[in-house]
Amino acid sequence: MTVCAIYARVSDESQLKGDSIEHQIRYCQEQARRRSVEEGVPWVIPESRIYVDEGITGTSMVKRPAVQRLIQDARGKQFQVVLFKGISRFARDTVDALVMLRALCASGVRVISMEESFDSRRDNAEFIFTIHSALAQAESEKTAIRVRVGASQKARSGKWNGKAPDGYVLNSQTKHLEIDELVAPVIRDIFSMYLSGMGVRKIAEILNCTRRLTKRGNLWTQRNISRILKNDAYAGDVVYGRREKRVAYSDASDPLARNKRAVWVDDPARLVVCQNAHPGIVTREIFEEVQQLIKKRRTTMSGPTKSPHLLTKGLLRCTCGGSMTVTYNGAGTAYYRCLRRRDLGKSACDCGHVRAKDLEREVFARVRQDVLEALEFDQLVIPKEQDEVNKTQLRALETQLEKQIEKSQMLFDQYSDGKLLAEQYERINLTIQHRIQALRDTMRQLMQEIESQERVLDAGQRVREAFRQFLQVGTTNARFAREILTIFVERVEVVSSRNGHNEVKIRYRFAPPL
């Protein structure tokens, strides 16, 4: 008996063409039945071995959970064969498809695609698969162009692409926006409050406190308010092509990495604007006035834009359970503040700001004390194998140095025999001498390290010195300090006490001392 798996994927485009999930599964099941008759061995497809991704585009495999489960089960030897209707249903990126094929084949799984009559057991299977994958990728790119051109044409005629923004409903017949009189007053109040001098955080806080929620019943956030204030739709315009989602590969520091990410870029050449396409919720004069005010406030903002603080990214938690981030006052002083309060206002969290340096200094001092008391650093022994590694590296450097000296001597002999011009000799010899000097400097540092290791050292004292050096405010190695914190600390909580002061609770990954 051969246990088979089926992978099926459907996007909006394939649904329009009738290539539904049910159709793909039935097609694969019929092929499995025919293989059973031809080979005389039953091909069984358990219900749990049917992997489906619905409404997900074919260009991204990271966001496809069924693919990830398929790979995990293949490594767990849950099936011997995987079937899919066509390679375009499996992947439309050639590199991704090839990586997935190799992952499945490495797990001993036979890969079969019916539309292309592909079978991974045949000769040159990878070559044939790559050709079909490239064709599928080309078709995906053409589809993306067709969709973009179609959306541009809709925008030119004043029709709306996508979901209607708050304050509007989409007419299913004309595809034009119509004002939603239930939500439109909130939109007008947002513009009015911003012109009166309020910021987006204050506006969100007022709306949430008065329970004037979004049309989906959610609390307002700063991001929601900011997007509304910048959206041309509220002035009656349809704007399409302001940004385009493109694929960007890793930078020069790691050019071979396959981590793709979406990058939004401004492209005025693709911009389509249809003015007065639908009724505006606010007048064009009010909208333009708001845009000028946004630009003015943006240019007057001050303070650092990148946080050098070590308790962010989920390590520091507020009383309400939300994460805390760094903000700056007008003087540039850093404070930790709750993200929920920043986005939703006081209605979501009433915890105040905490001065960053004071909090970090207290946390670092307590972590140093608790970790050093809880762990027996005094019993640490410096492994002697490290000396052998350094000595082996030293011998290798000596060999390289001898080779460079020999090259220098051979170069001089060639120059003496008239085989090299003076300019050639000086240029090549200068490079060799730089290498010799670099090798000698490295050897000198390595010898000093070996000598220091041969002396009797207190391991516990070295650990304490490292903690004092790196785990402190203003450390010179923020990445190493962050790693120390995440190794020993699970979470830091800021708890508001009754007297109005904030207390700090540290949750360790070990049992702290009493």
Segment 412-430, tens digit of pLDDT: 888 788 887 888 888 888 8
Using CA atoms of 130, 132, 134, 137 in order, give the dihedral in degrees to the nearest 10: -130
Q: 268 or 106: whose pLDDT is higher? A: 106
Bridge partners (DSSP) listed for residue 113 = 84, 118
Confidence of residue 289 (pLDDT cuts 50, 70, 90): very high
Can you tell me which residue has the tokens 């790693």?
483
Can you tell me which residue has the tokens 């051979």?
410
Q: Cα(60)–Cα(47) distance, rounded to whole angstroms?
A: 25
Which among 334, 364, 335 has a CA at the least distance from the CA of 351? 335
Per-residue pLDDT at 381 exceeds 60 = no
Highest mean pLDDT among 99-113, 182-196, 263-277: 182-196
**pLDDT averaged over every residue in the chain:** 76
Q: What is the mean pLDDT of residues 48-67?
A: 68
Per-residue pLDDT at 114 exceeds 50 = yes
Confidence of residue 58 (pLDDT cuts 50, 70, 90): very low
Per-residue pLDDT at 314 exceeds 90 = no
Per-residue pLDDT at 465 exceeds 50 = yes
Which among 238, 213, 62, 57 has a CA at the least distance from the CA of 154? 238
Secondary structure (DSSP) of 245-289: EEEE---TTSTT----EEEEEE-GGG-EEETTSS--SS-HHHHHH
Lowest-confidence region among 8-22, 334-348, 377-391: 377-391
Confidence of residue 14 (pLDDT cuts 50, 70, 90): very low
Q: 69 or 57: whose pLDDT is higher? A: 69
Q: 490 or 298: whose pLDDT is higher? A: 490
Bridge partners (DSSP) listed for residue 118 = 113
pLDDT at residue 401, as a whole number: 87
Lowest-confidence region among 142-151, 262-271, 375-384, 427-436: 375-384
- Give CA 159 to chain center in angstroms: 33
Confidence of residue 302 (pLDDT cuts 50, 70, 90): very low
Per-residue pLDDT at 146 exceeds 50 = yes
Angle, in degrees to the nearest 10, between helices 459-470 and 356-374: 170
For 454, the enclosing helix (H) or strand (E) is helix 422-454
For 7, the enclosing helix (H) or strand (E) is strand 2-10
pLDDT at residue 303, as a whole number: 46
pLDDT at residue 80, as a whole number: 92
Instruction: Judge contact between 433 and 408, C-beta under 8 A.
Output: yes
pLDDT at residue 15, as a whole number: 44
Q: 463 or 233: whose pLDDT is higher? A: 233
Q: What is the mean pLDDT of residues 373-399?
A: 65
Q: What is the mean pLDDT of residues 426-436?
A: 86
Per-residue pLDDT at 483 exceeds 90 = no
Q: 458-488 burial, b if ≥16 CB within 10 A, otherwise e?
A: eeeeebbeebeebbebebeeeeebbebbeeb
Q: 379 or 181: whose pLDDT is higher? A: 181
pLDDT at residue 240, as a whole number: 81
pLDDT at residue 363, as a whole number: 80
Q: Cα(480)–Cα(466) distance, rounded to whole angstroms?
A: 10
Q: Cα(337)–Cα(360) distance, rounded to whole angstroms?
A: 13
Most distant CA atoms of the chain, gap in Å:
96
Per-residue pLDDT at 327 exceeds 90 = no
Q: 390 or 239: whose pLDDT is higher? A: 239
What's the Cα-to-Cα distance from 507 to each of 207, 272, 371, 429, 495, rounded to whole Å? 35, 53, 12, 60, 13
Confidence of residue 400 (pLDDT cuts 50, 70, 90): confident
Lowest-confidence region among 273-282, 291-300, 305-314, 488-497: 305-314
What does R_g of the chain's alpha carbons equal in angstroms?
A: 32
Lowest-confidence region among 324-333, 411-420, 446-455: 446-455
pLDDT tens string 227-270:
899 999 999 988 887 766 655 555 444 444 445 555 555 666 66
Highest mean pLDDT among 19-33, 50-64, 367-381: 19-33
What whole-number percentage of the chain has pLDDT above 70?
A: 72
The side-by-side arrangement of strands in the sheet containing 502-508 is 316-317, 489-496, 502-508
DSSP annotation of 323 reads B
Per-residue pLDDT at 380 exceeds 60 = no
pLDDT at residue 91, as a whole number: 66
Per-residue pLDDT at 291 exceeds 50 = yes
Q: Cα(119)–Cα(103) distance, rounded to whole angstroms?
A: 15
Confidence of residue 285 (pLDDT cuts 50, 70, 90): very high
pLDDT at residue 125, as a whole number: 72
pLDDT at residue 255, as a whole number: 45
What's the Cα-to-Cα distance from 409 to each of 403, 415, 458, rounded to whole Å? 10, 10, 46
CA angle, residues 160, 166, 170, in degrees to nearest 5: 35
Token representation of residue 2? 């051969």
pLDDT at residue 81, as a whole number: 92
pLDDT at residue 416, as a whole number: 80
Number of other residues whose CB lies within 10 A of the CB of residue 235: 20
Instruction: Judge contact between 467 and 373, C-beta under 8 A.
Output: no
Instruction: Judge contact between 105 and 70, C-beta under 8 A.
Output: no
DSSP annotation of 161 reads P
